[in-house]
Amino acid sequence: MAFRLKLVPDNTKINFFRVQWLTFGLSALAMVVSVVLIMTMGLNFGIDFKGGTTIRTESSTAFEVGEYRNAINALDLGDVSITEVFDPTFGEDRHVAMIRIGTTNETGSVSQEQLNQVEAALQQVDPQVRFAAVDSVGPKVSSELIKTALYAVGAATLGIMAYIWLRFEWQFAIGAVVSLIHDILLTIGLFALLQLRFDLLTIVALLTTLGYSVNDTVVVFDRLRENLIKYKSMPLIDVMNLTVNETLSRTIMTAVTTALALTAMLIFGGDVIRDFIIAMLWGVIVGCYSTIYVAKNIVLWLGVKRDWSKNGPKKDPSPFSNAEMP
């Protein structure tokens, strides 16, 4: 027999509901902790949402953050933060800093003269310094971007809910949405905990993991519906356990391939989008967990109609499959 790597053995019979109170409690706790973290530590908003200017400097010689700070503080620009960026892909002679300056006026952010002053001041301290990227976002745009971002996350959630409701039953839609909210909260919570930069790309990552997580959930639901038709008299909880066990191998398999791809990007993709990748990777892990432990539990508690075969609105479970009706 040929070798096969199987992270999940054949014919698993794990009782996923044995520890349901524990896992549900854990999820609820994690959500509460996330909210508390977001409230107390706050989010490290990027300029997309807060307005302001960031300057990315690159230098071939090592520099002291303190020296940069002194040079810029002399200009009296108000709220300035400087962080050195480290990355395993940087060579010996690559030293990168991110300088962030708060908003100083109403329309743009930092004026061109101020920007030139900053560049001149830094060049005095470090003649090798180059300005690899400069971004400025005015407060007018940033407040609009926050609104768009919130709308986007809301619209995506509603859209997905509507689709699942159409294709399955309302209980499934609720289950999926609760698990989506779980994923979103936990991801934002991680960003608060690690103080990662929260900007437009983070929203993109959120939407992507939203899509990924629901993708996972839908595959399980699809099988659940099939099993509900097949085993009409089996208790709901057993049908669910059977379903998760049947799809477990696929869930893990896809989570691993996705995580492999993202990890490659995390290590080799450079520092510019690292926070973005962290958000997606975390979203994949959380999404995988919430499929098994959150979405299904909700459906179990809400109950679901058992008689799918007679005169129901879903006569044919799927127009795409030619499933044999028992």
Partner 1 sequence: MLQIDRWKRILIVGLALLGLALAAPNLFYQRVEQHNDAVATIEKTGVETPELIAQRDGWPSWLPSGLVNLGLDLRGGAHLLGEVRVAEVYKSRMDSLWPEIRNALAAERQTIGSIRRLPAEDGVLKLEIGNADQMQRAVEIVRGFSDPITTLTGAGQQSLSILADGSTITVQLSDAEKEATDQRTVLQSLEIIRRRVDEVGTREPTIMQQGKDRILIQVPGIGSAEELKELIGTTAKLTFHSVIGVGSDPNARAQVGQIIVPDLEQEGLFYTLEESPVVTGDELVDAMPATDQNGQPAVDFRFNPSGARKFGDYTAANVGQPFAIVLDNEVVSAPNIRQAIRGGSGQISGAMDYDEANRLAVLLRAGALPAQMDFLEERTIGPELGQDSIDAGRLSAIVATVAVVAYMIASYGLFGVFASVSVIINVILILAVMSVLGATMTLPGIAGIVLTVGTAVDANVIIFERIREELRAGKKVVRAIGDGFSEAMSAIIDANVTTFIAAAVMFFMGSGPVKGFAVTMTIGLVTSVFTAIFLTRLMIVWWIERRKPQELVL
Q: Is 169 helix (H, G, I), strand (E, B) or coil?
A: coil
- Judged by CB under 8 A, does residue 102 bind partner 1? no
CA distance 206 to 194: 16
Strand partners, 96: 58, 85
What minimum distance in Å lies between the beta carbon of 288 and partner 1?
Answer: 12
Bridge partners (DSSP) listed for residue 56: 98, 133
228 belongs to the binding site for partner 1 (CB under 8 A): no
Candidate residues 41, 98, 125, 265; the one interacting with partner 1 per rule CB under 8 A = 265
Our finding on whether 246 is near partner 1 (CB under 8 A) is: yes
219 touches partner 1 by CB under 8 A: yes
Contact status: 210 vs partner 1 (CB under 8 A): yes
Is 100 within 8 Å of 54 (Cβ atoms)?
Answer: yes
Which residues within the stretch 8-47 sit at the binding site for partner 1 (CB under 8 A)?
10-11
Q: How would you classify the pairing of strands 52-59 and 130-137?
A: antiparallel
Stretch touching partner 1 by CB under 8 A, among 77-85, 104-112, 231-239, 295-303: 104-112
Which of these ranges, 188-196, 218-226, 227-235, 298-306, lies near partner 1 under the rule CB under 8 A?
Answer: 218-226
Stretch that binds partner 1, among 62-70, 184-192, 248-256, 302-310 (CB under 8 A): 248-256
The whole-angstrom separation of Cα 197 and Cα 319 is 44
Least distance to partner 1, CB of residue 54, Å: 10
Pick the closest to residue 49 from 135, 117, 131 (CA basis). Answer: 135
Binding mask 73-92 for partner 1 (x = CB under 8 A): ----------------x---
Among 20, 117, 135, 165, binds partner 1 (CB under 8 A): 135
C-alpha–C-alpha distance, residues 164 and 177, integer Å? 10
C-alpha to C-alpha distances, 320 to 156, 316, 323, nearest whole angstrom: 24, 10, 9
- CB of residue 285 to partner 1, shortest distance in Å: 13
Residue linked to tokens 């049908």? 239
Angle at 62 between CA 73 and CA 66, to 5 degrees: 25
Identify residues 137-156 at the interface with partner 1 (CB under 8 A).
137-138, 140-141, 148-149, 151-152, 155-156
Q: How far is the CB of 275 from partner 1 (least distance, A)?
A: 12
3-state helix vs strand vs coil in the chain, percent to 5 = 60, 10, 30
Using rule CB under 8 A, residue 314 touches partner 1 = no
| Contacting range for partner 1; rule: CB under 8 A; set: 4-12, 14-22, 26-34, 227-235 | 4-12
Assigned token pair, 91: 């060579």
Token pair for residue 220? 């399980």
Can you tell me which of 262, 286, 288, 292 binds partner 1, judged by CB under 8 A?
262
DSSP secondary structure code for residue 291 in this structure: I
Buried b (16+ CB within 10 A) or exposed e, 224-234: bbbbbbebeee
Stretch that binds partner 1, among 17-25, 66-74, 227-235, 256-264 (CB under 8 A): 256-264
Q: Which residue number, 43 or 216, has a Cβ lying nearer to partner 1?
A: 216
> Binding to partner 1 by residue 108, rule CB under 8 A?
yes
